[in-house]
Each structure stands twice: as C-alpha cells, then as structure tokens.
Amino acid sequence: MRWHFRQISDLAILWAGHRVVPVTLIVFAAIWAAVGLSFSFPRQWFLLTNMVGTLIIFFILLLVQHSQNRDMTALHTKLDKLIRSSEAGNHWIAAEKKDADAIEGMRQQHHGQTSETST
C-alpha cells in the first residue's frame, strides 16, 4: 500500500509540476467561463467551481508536502552520513530534532570556531 501511494504521489507531483499544466489550466478556465456564460452562471456553477478548485488545491498541497517530507528525510540521512565520515563532531548529527535555542547555540559555536581558524 505504501509503495503504491508513493508511486502515485511521485507521478502526480511530476504531472502537476510539468510546464504544460498552467497552459492547460488557462484553456480549461476559458472554456469553463464560456460554458458558464452560455448558461448565465447559475448559483450551482459557482459552488461547483469553488468545491472542485478547493479539493484540487488541497490534494496537490498534501502531495507536495508528502514529497518534501520524504526529500528532507533523505537529505538529513545523507548529511548525517557525511558528518559521521568527516572530522566534524557527532553532536551535529540529527541537529534538526533539537529545539531552536540549541540549534542557535550550535550555530554560534560553529561560527566562533570558523572565525578562530580563519585568523
């Protein structure tokens, strides 16, 4: 089940980010408006437009968030591996899981160390 969701998510994100999609949406909106004008825009027309638009945006938002979460997890894993294989201290591993004050303290400490070594 997870594999199918990931595959569908990847395909949907790839499709949604394609350069043809904005042009297609503009053409679709023009056709939608023309058909609405021919029917004098009944109230149900606006309700359907709002509902479909909201659902599509919500769905794409969830897919993009899922994709970003997976990419960030992979990036953090790669960075942790680089830290382990370098001379950097192991306290940098999983820094993203610490609170904001601890991260700022680590950044200040690192900034102080880099300015000392450069002089």
Count of alpha carbons within 13 angstroms of residue 5, beta-carbon side = 8
pLDDT at 119 over 60: no
Segment 18-44 shows an average pLDDT of 86
Phi, psi of 110 (to 5 degrees): -65, -40
Rounded to a whole number of angstroms, the CA Rg of the chain reads 24
User: pTM to 2 decimals?
Assistant: 0.56
Segment 33-40 shows an average pLDDT of 84
| Domain boundaries of the chain, sorted by first residue | 2-86
For 37-94, what is each residue's pLDDT tens digit? 888 878 888 888 889 889 988 888 888 888 888 888 888 888 888 888 877 667 777 7
